[in-house]
């Protein structure tokens, strides 16, 4: 992750390793307000769509129940200020 506070710019890669608890032809991740440069599932580009705060990801191949998989997301943007108040 690279952060430039003077420009309020974030440039990062998130790698998520998971195991499917059911067969997945698509799945969702939360992501708000940042632009995606690339998104891969198991090293293969995966199409995605935004639905509010959600990314709806469609892997190139269905992921079987019990199968481990990896999601890699390269994203950039200017995060909005968030309050830590309850």
| pLDDT tier, 78 (very low <50, low <70, confident <90, very high otherwise) | confident
Indicate whether 59 pLDDT > 90: yes
Instruction: Evaluate whether 17 touches 72 at the Cβ level (below 8 Å).
Output: no
pLDDT at 6: 85
Q: What is the pLDDT of residues 26-45, one digit of tens each?
A: 999 998 889 999 999 999 99
Indicate whether 68 pLDDT > 70: yes
The single-letter DSSP state of residue 43 is: T
Indicate whether 81 pLDDT > 90: no
19: Cα within 13 Å, side-chain hemisphere = 3
Q: What is the pTM of this model?
A: 0.83
């Amino acid at each position: 992750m690279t952060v430039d506070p003077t420009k309020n710019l974030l440039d990062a890669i998130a790698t998520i390793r998971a195991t499917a608890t059911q067969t997945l032809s698509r799945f969702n991740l939360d992501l708000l307000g940042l632009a995606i440069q690339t998104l891969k599932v198991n090293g293969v580009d995966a199409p995605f769509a935004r639905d509010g705060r959600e990314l709806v990801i469609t892997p190139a191949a269905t992921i079987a129940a019990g199968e481990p998989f990896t999601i890699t997301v390269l994203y950039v943007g200017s995060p909005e200020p968030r309050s830590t108040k309850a």
